[in-house]
Amino acid sequence: MLLNQLINRFEQLWPTQSAEEWDSVGLVVGNRNQQIKKILLTVDVTDEIVAEAKNSNANLILAHHPLLLRGIETAAEETSKGFVLTELIRSGISLYSAHTNADSQPTGTSAVLAKEIGLADTAVLSKNQQGTGIGITGLLPKPISLGELAGLLNDILPQTATGVRVAGDFNRQIQKVALCAGAGDSYLQTALDSAADVYITSDLRHHPAQEILQQAKARGVEFALIDISHWAAEYLWLDQAARELSDLPVEIQVSDLRTDVFDFLLNIPRSK
């Protein structure tokens, strides 16, 4: 298929107008008249991913995270972005990203995570003007302990060094869940206001997390936080995206490379 034909399909699935204002989605590298034979799906675009695309003969990378989310002043090869861009162009590999425009769809990143943990009666956590939005709220089939929910996430998500981190009482019963796959600390207040028992997201920072927990106490309500790997939370969506593209006359491969940035974790008592 021509790249332009594939882009038309991507736009149907993940309309660019549904992306957040700050986002940068769509075609990053490539000629719209290029014949595409194979697509490699990934969360991130790194030099390892480009190498995988080359080795597997994929000439289009469909990435969740935009490579050029923040502006650059140079694409010199000794810069981080220039290093990857140069290799893409040199290798004849096109790059397209679907980010918050994919997040906000009924089969987007948060919706996939919600389905994996069995949420019902789901609703959008933070709606936009189009009626879609970021994040999901919903109910577990029955109350379970916070520890059990953390264990469920540990089983569902691909393994990472940081695993599943939890703020809250292990035995406290949980039923209403708010979640945002990816970095969701900007929705901490929205999650608390939704009357959720727990908020699941990634990249939680010390001060915002501590503040929202203190605010919950000030309100006299119980509220827990679960912090999961950003990459792992969104990796689950790749299989969904592959299914939505499976009728196309091109080969589709989901990358099995772990692009989570952390390689190991030490959390044992120090020897005396």
pLDDT tens-digit profile of 138-180? 999 999 999 999 999 999 999 999 999 999 999 999 999 999 9
Specify whether the CB–CB gap between 253 and 239 falls below 8 A. Answer: no
- Phi–psi pair at 208, nearest 5 degrees: -60, -40
**pLDDT of 198:** 98
**pLDDT of 127:** 85
**pLDDT of 267:** 83
Check if 3-98 and 104-232 are the same fold. Answer: yes
In order, the DSSP letters of 72-95 are: -S---TTSHHHHHHHHHHHHT-EE
Specify whether the CB–CB gap between 62 and 267 falls below 8 A. Answer: no
Q: 104-232 — its CATH code?
A: 3.40.1390.30
Q: 3-98 — its CATH code?
A: 3.40.1390.30
**pLDDT of 272:** 63
Query: Angle at which helices 47-55 and 80-91 pack, to 10 degrees?
Result: 10
Segments of the chain with pLDDT less than 70: 130, 272
Element (H, E) at 149: helix 146-156
Angle at 251 between CA 246 and CA 253, to 5 degrees: 85
**pLDDT of 3:** 98
Specify whether the CB–CB gap between 93 and 61 falls below 8 A. Answer: yes
**Of the candidates 55, 57, 64, the residue with the CA atom closest to the CA atom of residue 28:** 64
Spacing of C-alpha 214 from chain mean position = 27
Specify whether the CB–CB gap between 38 and 250 falls below 8 A. Answer: yes
Q: Tell me 34's DSSP state.
A: P
**pLDDT of 75:** 84
- Cβ neighbours of residue 253 closer than 8 Å, sequence gap 6 or more: 38, 39, 40, 41, 56, 58
Rg of the Cα trace of the chain? 20
Q: How far, in Å, CA of 29 to CA of 49, rounded? A: 15
Q: How far, in Å, CA of 181 to CA of 36, rounded? A: 30
Q: How far, in Å, CA of 34 to CA of 31, rounded? A: 5
Tokens of 10: 């991507």
Q: Tell me 248's DSSP state.
A: S
Length of the chain: 272
**pLDDT of 170:** 98
Q: What percent of the chain has pLDDT over 90?
A: 88
In the chain, what are the domain boundaries?
3-98, 104-232
